[in-house]
Structure 1
Amino acid sequence: MDNNNGSHTFSRASLSVLSVLLASTAPAQEANQQGSQNAADMERIIVTGTRVANRSALDTAVPVDVVSGEQLENLGVTEVSQALSVTVPSFNFPRPGLADGTDTVRPATLRGLAPDQTLVLVNGKRRHQAALVNINNSIGRGSTAVDLNTIPNAIIQSVEVLRDGASAQYGSDAIAGVINLRLKTDADGGDAGVTYGWRETSYDVLVRPIPAPNPTWSAPSRLSRDLSDGETLTVSAWKGLPIGSTGSVVIAAEYKDQEHTERGGYDTRQQYPLVNGQYDPRELTFDRFNSWYGEPEMEQKTLFVNAEYEVASGATVYGWASYQDRDALSAGFYRIASDVRNTIEIYPDGFLPLIAPEVIDLSAAFGATWRLGEWNMDSSLSYGRNEMDYRIRNTLNRSLGPASKTTFDSGGFDYDQLTLNVSGVRTVDVGLASPLNIAIGVEARRETFGIDAGEPDSYRNGGVRLPDGSPTQSGAQVFPGFRPENEVDEDRTAVGAYIDLEANLTQQLLASVALRGESYSDFGENLAGKLSLRYDFTEQFALRASVQNGFKAPSLQQQYFSTTSTNFIGGIPFDIATFPVNDPAAIALGAQPLDAEESLNYSLGAVARIGDLTLTIDAYRIDIDDRIVLSENLTSGDVINYLTSLGFIGIGGGRFFINGVDTETEGVDVVLTYPLTTDALGRFDFTLTANYNSTDVTRVPTTPQLSALPTPPVLFNRFNVLSYEEGTPEDKYAAAINWTLGGWGATLRATRYGEVLSPDPNPALDVVLSPTTLVDVEARLSVTDHIKVAIGADNVTDEYPDPLPPANNLTGTQSFSNYSAFGRSGRFVYGRLTYSF
């Protein structure tokens, strides 16, 4: 495959008592406002980061961004992650390629932290993670994350992004912040739209020198390519319908058909064996742009329903359900004809192995809000499941020789989550400048993770040897299947309880205190607390600050993911594995049960209003201890000898997840907005954002067992240290203008991504990617009251990251680095037609 308890603990008994106490005192509404509100109200009033009703984004003690549904629509690339990357200052979506399943389920980052250190909510309820754990060398390596792109834009009313730690309020994962997607609740209206676009682009690649002795083919040192590819059709619709006179249901559907893009380089390698000492004539006609490297091919079908209904008693029942089927196709590295991994009888010209994951994602939730005395109550039960199965095409199992199949079922994995919560909110007059807002609640969660083996031919060794008599690698090329010994079916439970208090101590001073305890059946307990303050000096200026300790529980995927491949060393087979932490071989190397990551978050910010202009500046520091990382491949001779001495015969080492990386992250977010309305020229909405972010790794993991070896291996090397420290932009600036006049409208946006380091295991080959500015533009016209058309281009100036030098691109396939903060696909031009009901 290319690929103990925390320091803050309390007793389980204490948690149980607290849970019962909170349940008996009427837990309720989990920041999930029900009822019909128009888009302007949704943008003005937030429910994330505070449990006080009718609090606006600018009146909170912590920074919250609100991205409207309209902003999600005014983009060519219709993905939630892509929209957030150009509207939220510290949110990045790097779009890696040649990374197995990560090509299909791409992770995003907030404040330069790991994808699984940001909590995702839907209508205030925890969203389930994807089954995939990222194990390749890309941003987010070793993490699991929520796949935001399983939620269609058509169902989203707005997205609230809390840029502050919030574990004390929402639980595990909220170290960097919280993303809350609020769904439409309209009882009427709707629209249907078609968006069609493609990549119209030109780019340069640096070419490796032709290998000596010079053959009869030639190539310049730099090549330019003009391409039209990546055609993407998105058909979406949503419709709001009434349920009686007091309810609504919104039905949304989306179909997406995307062709792949190809941004590989020129493969100057000798493709064919010599014939009588001469180069094969096919070297002259071989297509040396032989790889896929870019956006995957994808067909995606999504259905989402959200409903609510107020009953006669005044209570409201609500719920939603979703289903998505995603079929993707991406590629591995090209195997040349003369590669020992090729069987010439099957692929006389070599082959490009293709990875075809199928992802099924579904969710359902049901809940109710009601009044119980002075309490606003909320209780819900939600379920989410994500599964990913791999089919490998255009490949072979070399050890089966010419009889090998070319398509394999390599197995897959799944994750699901069942969550029950009960919460309550009320206000009490205690003689302060405002009533004291009290929110209490309990939550119980059950999670499961499983791995299913592939078909035997996807992982077995058939015994066919190489021409020199040496054995060859087992399993399907590019992605050997999961073996029966890799299969797992694990689960855990977690119970949490919280209390959240907020009030104005004086007319100027707002204070908020939150405390949350959680108990996990696998690693133990954790207690998180948060204090937030805001002081309004005048109506125009305020300071705000917060301090909290947070945590992220180890995921089941990190604890139990397992895969095995067989390599031959000196003709002897050795299994190289990604070990679960409870595997005896991993324990022998020093693996221990994973514990929670722990953080301390500090923030200090200012809010200024000057007329209609608003400005927020928020500085933050996030110290995280015991981050969970995937170790390096531990396959040295010393490791093999050590394992053999302990009786692990045939185990050639591998890697495992481990706590032990400490980091310090510091940064500043700036957001400026200004609406300007004119009589003659219409309305202009100006937005400027900026982020500066810096991370330092202050500790890396070691184990006594490995440290005692003659040459101790490194568990977390400089490549991964630099990925943490410099793999995301140190700074990012964006400016956007949105204009409307009658039926006309337009958006102009520029995003500057700062310098990024693309690290290499060899320090001499590190590459610094220069700052790059991308410009997006869209023009819109309402042809009638019901029909609107738009044309536009994302990255209209067709910018690319710096190409990789030939020394970093040995196969010619990876012409650009995966560390580019904006991918490497070039200009996307599109048109959109929308019909409103």
Structure 2
Amino acid sequence: MRNVSLRRSAFGLSAIKNIILQGMLAIVFAAAGYAEPASRKDVLDREVTLNIKEKKLEYVLNRIEEQTKVMFVFSPKLIQSDRLVTISRSKEKLSVVLDELTTPLHLQYEVAGDKVILKRQLAGKTGSEQELAPEFTPVPITGKITNSKGEPLAGVSIVVKNKAGGTSTNANGVFTIEANEGDVLVITNVGYRSREVTVGSQHELSFVLEDAVAELTTVVVGSRSLRPRTNVESPVPVDVISSKDLLATGQIEPTQQIQFTAPSFVSNRQTVADGTDHIDPASLRGLGPDQVLVLVNGKRRYNTALVNINGTVGKGSVGTDLNSIPASSIERIEVLRDGAASQYGSDAIAGVINVVLKKKSGTQVFAHTGQQYKGDGASMQFGLNQGFKLGQKGGVLNLTAEFRHRQPTNRAGEYLGTVFSGNASQDSLLIAQNGGWDRKNNMYIGNSKQLNAYGEANLEIPVFKNTKFYATGMYSYRKGKAAGFYRYPKQAPSQVVLQLYPRGFLPYIESEINDRSILAGLKGKTAGAWNWDISSVYGGNEFRFDVSNSNNASMGISSPTKFYCGKLGFQQSTTNVDFSKDFGSKLNLSTFNVALGAEMRFDMFKITPGQEESWRNYDSTKAGGAQVFPGYQPANAVNETRSVMSTYVDVESDITEKLLVNVAGRFEHYSDFGNALAGKLALRYKILDALSIRGAISNGFRAPSIHQFYFNNTSTQFQLVNGTLSPSNTLTVRNNDPIAKALGIPDLKEETSVNYSLGITAKPARNVSLTIDAYRIDIKNRILLAGPFKRTHPLVGPILDGNNISKDVQVVQAFSNIIDTKTQGLDIILSVNPQVAKGNLDLTLAANFNETKIKRVNGTDKIPAVPDSLGNYFFFDRAEQSRVELGNPRNKISASANYQYKKIGFMVRLTRFGKVSSWNTNPQLDESYSAKVITDASFSYSILPQVRVTIGANNAFDIYPDRLKWFRDGKKDKTNPYYSNTSDGRFVYSRNATQFGMNGGYYYISLSASF
């Protein structure tokens, strides 16, 4: 018992973390040695092995950099780095190799620390004469700087390297500066890739600054190699989405931005689904929200506290809330579309999403406002990103503040049921006596109302030679409001207190969501060329539930109308130590990168009860607790922790110039369920320089989340009863609860997977790239909610009675390893970037074809997995099956064109969302919704070089998903059995299977500025 209390103690946990972190730091600092800056002799004595025939000089320099860990500084144009070179040397000193290279090419070099500066020799002077040559008198250097669209860039900074003073470009992009031949001009501008240009004999310069996103083709996630890989060169498929691309979607929430830029990612807002109205579930390659791992700056991001237990896609899952990250802070997003449990740990079955935060100086401002065509759903965003340079050695502090506000939308239909009485004729009379009834405005079905505020700080600063300290802090506060089902006067006295609400009431769930995280770490390089990184991140999510405009019917007239219903809390502490080194030069290989490391993680889950009136039943003849969401009870209270220890090794090597091999393995130990082991083999083979084939095979795992072990509550959920959606008090019990065991539900164990992928990558021209990747993912023992077990069943009723469960409870459910699935599909991405009429045109075609099938439903000796004649399993009916197989689109195809000419830009994007379906327990009431094409368009204009305004429309043609079948039938007859799917006409569109939402067109205006 002493150990348990210590684990739950904040002091005990902090002490353990400090001891571990201090021990790790001691090991690394001892190993590092912190050598003095390398001398010129030390650098020139480093060994080089080369066997190169007719390769570009730049390629040769890259090979030397990898082997010696020096950095070459040069102007490609000045030294003519595209010249072909042949050289063969084995374990030769760098000085000899440099002399052999530079002499015939008429170059000179200087050594400065670990840098080698290459320059063109001055005419008529070589060797020592160069060093003795008198300094030239500075001369005026003039030039013009433009961006990739040919637009002049104002305010660009130009300085002479290692000399005082500098200048900047005027409104026409023109500058003048005095410099000597051989001086290096350093050109920088926020949002653009920095350049260094060596002054030659020409005194008039014109050149283009590339957008910073040009660097974003280099991926971080998916490979721990020290050599940068592009998304075309990587052995597994990775999407790289720049902040510019995210902004161009016209969306203001990260999940929606990714939805319209990554073909295999789907996230849609849910409605009338309790907490899931406020946190959007997301899916990668058609799998669950908890089967994709989210990283921020390469470090594990915590899950939400919310458990999706209502009737939505992702039911039974615990995902990660990407909308808790301010959009204004994001530099890029990397989506790894392949199993990566062996590299990053649990949850990475479908892949990994890595959010890279901004880390640069300067000021960026974002503003957005818009609303739906229907006149509701107004949204507003304001974001400010400010970066500061710290010191002279590359330190930077980047800060973000963001505010977002979203008004609700309502797409409810006309209510056609009775209001005051269950008898239709009597009800009509009562409606007349009560002054009529508005049948069109008594439900809110659509987006919830949300108010969001964010703060974020990202710091990196050198602290020692070859050592940097970095830290990231993030906070978000969100307040939401969503409606439930209307409670009508006819539901008195069991659910409605008429003295408080004579015309019934529409209850609201009000959320208050807090997210906090803090990351700190040190990274650097030892004297032995080992790269090391030690970090610790602590973060968590707290979800508070309040209910307003409601009553506790069992209290009668003394009932409150607003209730505090309790909190969910999840915190996670993760400490990592990582090492990597490239042994390629020692093995006579281009690369042989070895990465290894360890991780310690603590998970903490908490349920805090609400006020007594929110959950207690004071009169057993009436419904107890707050209507729409009964509060968490003291019996539901949870305060549990667990620990996870893991270690990994990852080896990646360019075995030849054509063959790349990656092998990874990971072992994890969980204090609450045991061990897991995962491995991966990935290959990429260059058939031609512009054509490669790649493939991977891996096994993976997802440990049961701590939420799935301990979550329990009683809530009002709408279950299918005899094919009709009916409110039911639903009890969710822990997996180890006596009720779950009496129903035969076994202890939770990990999900296991086997992933296969095979693809090709091609870059047939400078501005063309193509990737095609096929995949298959077999998952055993997927964890979902088993149920609904209905009290009316002869097995369930006695179990609930025997455990003294209130007669209010009609349904029970519990988490179980319930199904095995097979997911297979194809991803295609084609990108073409031609220059058209002196402007830049970006064309992208992206497609995902995906199918998930249930291979097996896992039964027990007490509950055999035998379907009835309609295909319903006792504990996993057809409605639940369709959520897994058919709830997400089976394909998504996007085609976009983005044209930029000087100050003007046009963007058009077509997105086709495939067919989805929702099944009923009665197959005759199944519904399907056909594929739809959504068109987004925008026009942008740079009113100043630094300021751009955009006017656009998302879903420009106001497309909606198919209506429910009853509304599509020519004759709307209540005797039509499909009427039961509409909840008396209130649901026009499905809430169980959604492709792109039900809000229709949206128009907006936005502004972005960089200074």
Say yes or no: TM over 0.5: yes
Q: How does 1:349-388 map to 2 (within 5 A)?
A: 349-372=503-526, 373-388=528-543
1:663, CA displacement in angstroms? Answer: 0.1
The partner residue of 2:849 within 667, 683, 692 is 692
Q: Which amino acid aligns with 1:128?
A: Y
Q: For residues 119 and 566 of structure 1, what CA distance do their matches in structure 2 show?
A: 31
Is 1:603 aligned to residue 760 of structure 2? Answer: no
Q: For residues 789 and 21 of structure 1, what CA distance do their matches in structure 2 show?
A: 50
1:287, CA displacement in angstroms? Answer: 4.2
Q: For residues 605 and 248 of structure 2, what CA distance do their matches in structure 1 show?
A: 37
Deviations 1:392-428 (A, max 9, x none): 0111111111221111111021000000000011011
Q: Which amino acid aligns with 2:449?
A: E
The partner residue of 1:809 within 982, 1000, 1009 is 982
* Structure-2 change in CA distance of 1:616 and 1:663 (3 Å): same
Q: For residues 314 and 748 of structure 1, what CA distance do their matches in structure 2 show?
A: 46
Q: Which residue of structure 2 aligns with residue 755 of structure 1?
A: 915
Is 1:404 aligned to residue 559 of structure 2? Answer: yes
Is 1:81 aligned to residue 237 of structure 2? Answer: no
Q: How does 1:397-796 map to 2 (within 5 A)?
A: 397-429=552-584, 431=587, 433-463=589-619, 471-564=621-714, 577-611=731-765, 612-634=767-789, 635-643=791-799, 654-678=812-836, 680-707=837-864, 714-796=874-956
Is 1:96 aligned to residue 243 of structure 2? Answer: no
1:547, CA displacement in angstroms? Answer: 0.1
Please state whether the residue corresponding to 1:229 is helix, strand or coil: coil
1:280, CA displacement in angstroms? Answer: 2.5
* Structure-2 change in CA distance of 1:124 and 1:462 (3 Å): same
Q: How does 1:21-170 map to 2 (within 5 A)?
A: 38=193, 39-52=212-225, 53-170=227-344
Indicate if the aligned counterparts of 1:433 and 1:507 stay in contact, CA closer than 8 A: no
Question: Any unmatched runs of 5+ in structure 2?
Answer: 1-22, 33-187, 194-211, 718-727, 967-978
Deviations 1:704-758 (A, max 9, x none): 2334999997121121112211211111110011111112112211100011112
Q: For residues 709 and 537 of structure 1, what CA distance do their matches in structure 2 show?
A: 50
Deviations 1:157-180 (A, max 9, x none): 100000000000000000000000
1:527, CA displacement in angstroms? Answer: 0.6
* Structure-2 change in CA distance of 1:613 and 1:276 (3 Å): closer
Q: Which residue of structure 2 aligns with residue 205 of structure 1?
A: none
Please state whether the residue corresponding to 1:704 is helix, strand or coil: coil
Indicate if the aligned counterparts of 1:629 and 1:658 stay in contact, CA closer than 8 A: yes
Q: For residues 122 and 544 of structure 1, what CA distance do their matches in structure 2 show?
A: 27
The TM-score, its normalising length taken from structure 1, stands at 0.89
Q: Which residue of structure 2 aligns with residue 190 of structure 1?
A: 363
Deviations 1:326-351 (A, max 9, x none): 00000111112222322222112221
* Structure-2 change in CA distance of 1:344 and 1:805 (3 Å): farther
Q: For residues 476 and 664 of structure 2, what CA distance do their matches in structure 1 show?
A: 36
Deviations 1:764-788 (A, max 9, x none): 1111111000011111111012322
Q: For residues 716 and 910 of structure 2, what CA distance do their matches in structure 1 show?
A: 49
Q: Which amino acid aligns with 1:437?
A: N
Deviations 1:530-553 (A, max 9, x none): 000111010111110000000001
Q: Which amino acid aligns with 1:449?
A: F
Q: For residues 725 and 710 of structure 1, what CA distance do their matches in structure 2 show?
A: 17
Q: Which amino acid aligns with 1:346?
A: L
Q: For residues 277 and 76 of structure 1, what CA distance do their matches in structure 2 show?
A: 47
Q: Which residue of structure 2 aligns with residue 10 of structure 1?
A: none
The partner residue of 1:348 within 492, 497, 502 is 502
Q: Which residue of structure 2 aligns with residue 221 of structure 1?
A: none
Q: Which amino acid aligns with 2:852?
A: T
Deviations 1:565-589 (A, max 9, x none): 699xxxxxx9952101122222222
How many residues are aligned here?
772
Q: For residues 767 and 371 of structure 1, what CA distance do their matches in structure 2 show?
A: 59
Indicate if the aligned counterparts of 1:23 and 1:441 stay in contact, CA closer than 8 A: no
Deviations 1:191-212 (A, max 9, x none): 2222110001xxxxxxxxxxxx
1:73, CA displacement in angstroms? Answer: 1.1
Q: Which amino acid aligns with 1:435?
A: T
Q: For residues 121 and 739 of structure 1, what CA distance do their matches in structure 2 show?
A: 32
Indicate if the aligned counterparts of 1:90 and 1:669 stay in contact, CA closer than 8 A: yes
Q: Which residue of structure 2 aligns with residue 239 of structure 1?
A: 386
Q: For residues 276 and 119 of structure 1, what CA distance do their matches in structure 2 show?
A: 53
Q: For residues 337 and 480 of structure 1, what CA distance do their matches in structure 2 show?
A: 20
Indicate if the aligned counterparts of 2:739 and 2:803 stay in contact, CA closer than 8 A: no
Q: Which residue of structure 1 aligns with residue 397 of structure 2?
A: 249
Indicate if the aligned counterparts of 1:76 and 1:197 stay in contact, CA closer than 8 A: no
Indicate if the aligned counterparts of 1:554 and 1:596 stay in contact, CA closer than 8 A: yes
Please state whether the residue corresponding to 1:181 is helix, strand or coil: strand
The partner residue of 2:448 within 292, 296, 315 is 296
Q: For residues 814 and 866 of structure 2, what CA distance do their matches in structure 1 show?
A: 18
What's the Cα RMSD here?
A: 2.5
Is 1:389 aligned to residue 544 of structure 2? Answer: yes
Deviations 1:486-534 (A, max 9, x none): 0000110001100000112222111100000000000100110000011
Q: Which residue of structure 1 aligns with residue 122 of structure 2?
A: none
The TM-score, its normalising length taken from structure 2, stands at 0.74
Where relative contact order (Cα < 8 A, 6+ residues apart) is larger, the structure is 1
1:276, CA displacement in angstroms? Answer: 9.8
Q: Which residue of structure 2 aligns with residue 220 of structure 1?
A: none
Q: For residues 822 and 716 of structure 2, what CA distance do their matches in structure 1 show?
A: 38
Q: Which residue of structure 1 aligns with residue 133 of structure 2?
A: none
Indicate if the aligned counterparts of 1:426 and 1:437 stay in contact, CA closer than 8 A: yes
Q: Which amino acid aligns with 2:892?
A: K
1:41, CA displacement in angstroms? Answer: 4.6
Indicate if the aligned counterparts of 1:386 and 1:416 stay in contact, CA closer than 8 A: yes
Q: For residues 127 and 529 of structure 1, what CA distance do their matches in structure 2 show?
A: 22
Indicate if the aligned counterparts of 1:364 and 1:384 stay in contact, CA closer than 8 A: yes
Indicate if the aligned counterparts of 1:585 and 1:648 stay in contact, CA closer than 8 A: no
Among all aligned residue pairs of Structure 1 and Structure 2, give the percentage whose two residues are the same amino acid. Answer: 38
Q: Which residue of structure 2 aligns with residue 336 of structure 1?
A: 488
Indicate if the aligned counterparts of 1:554 and 1:595 stay in contact, CA closer than 8 A: yes
Indicate if the aligned counterparts of 1:554 and 1:597 stay in contact, CA closer than 8 A: yes
Deviations 1:613-634 (A, max 9, x none): 1111000000000000101121
Indicate if the aligned counterparts of 1:76 and 1:828 stay in contact, CA closer than 8 A: no
Q: For residues 716 and 244 of structure 2, what CA distance do their matches in structure 1 show?
A: 51
Question: Any unmatched runs of 5+ in structure 1?
Answer: 1-19, 29-34, 201-226, 466-470, 568-573
Indicate if the aligned counterparts of 2:412 and 2:440 stay in contact, CA closer than 8 A: no
* Structure-2 change in CA distance of 1:676 and 1:426 (3 Å): same
Q: For residues 439 and 783 of structure 2, what CA distance do their matches in structure 1 show?
A: 43
Q: For residues 729 and 987 of structure 2, what CA distance do their matches in structure 1 show?
A: 28
Q: Which amino acid aligns with 2:366?
A: G
Please state whether the residue corresponding to 2:375 is helix, strand or coil: strand
1:609, CA displacement in angstroms? Answer: 1.5
Deviations 1:92-133 (A, max 9, x none): 112211111001001110000001100000010000010001
Q: Which residue of structure 2 aligns with residue 218 of structure 1?
A: none
When Rg is computed on C-alpha atoms for both structures, the one with the higher figure is 2
Deviations 1:361-380 (A, max 9, x none): 01110001111222100010
Q: Which amino acid aligns with 2:818?
A: G
1:641, CA displacement in angstroms? Answer: 4.5
